[in-house]
Amino acid sequence: MPVARVVVDVMLKPEILDPQGQAVQRALPRLGFDGISDVRQGKRFELEVDGPVDDAALARIHELAETFLANTVIENFTVKVEEPAVGAEK
Amino acid sequence: MPVARVVVDVMLKPEILDPQGQAVQRALPRLGFDGISDVRQGKRFELEVDGPVDDAALARIHELAETFLANTVIENFTVKVEEPAVGAEK
């Protein structure tokens, strides 16, 4: 059965304070890394989907992300289909 | 000053148990979402970089991710430059 990977990225909205990201950003100069003006930390979900990722499946995953993975009051999310065959990253 | 965004994705290695992802995956059928065979949860860092993102800057961010953002004993990470101008997502 073909298995496709769909990635859901969940990030705090820009207007929401991100203490985790701030902690990282403030630690960087102490560790010798300059030139990073802002850091935001969010969540990445990798979903392995059975069967084809058609419009219906993507709509379902969008609903899933909206109702379950993200708190849309304070977070934005994006849904992306990842091609596993390309896979030059790591 | 031009500001570029670099994204560092940190995911547990495939051979490492991911209880957070498992919890999400097991909850999905109860919530009416079928056809998701696996879920892995990781972290996404969005870094705003001052100045150009050249090879030297990317090498620095790679080192930063390796030493500070990821625990490379149990986690893999990827570094990607994001084009803010394309920005059709949200």
ipTM score of the complex? 0.87
Beta carbons of B37 and A49 less than 8 Å apart: yes
Q: Do B49 and A60 lie within an 8 Å CB cutoff?
A: no
Looking at the 3D structure of chain A, how many domains does it have?
1
A22 has pLDDT over 80: yes
Inspect the interface and report whether the beta carbons of A68 and B27 lie closer than 8 Å. yes
Asked if residue A30 belongs to a domain, the reply is yes
Domain that holds residue B58: 3-82
Residue A14 in domain: yes
The verdict on residue A59 lying in a domain is: yes
Cα separations in angstroms, B86 against A1, A79, B5, B83: 34, 16, 12, 6
How confident is the model at residue A87, as a pLDDT? Answer: 41
Q: Would residue B39 count as lying in a domain? A: yes
Contact between B7 and B84 under an 8 Å Cβ cutoff? The reply is no
A72 contacts A66 by C-beta, under 8 angstroms: yes
CATH number at residue B10: 3.30.1280.10
Of the candidates B21, B40, B48, which has its C-beta nearest A36's C-beta?
B48
pLDDT of residue A89: 44
Which range among A2-6, A24-28, A84-88, B49-53 shows the weakest confidence by mean pLDDT? A84-88
Burial class (CB in 10 A: 0-12, 13-18, 19+), B80: exposed
In a domain, A64, yes or no: yes
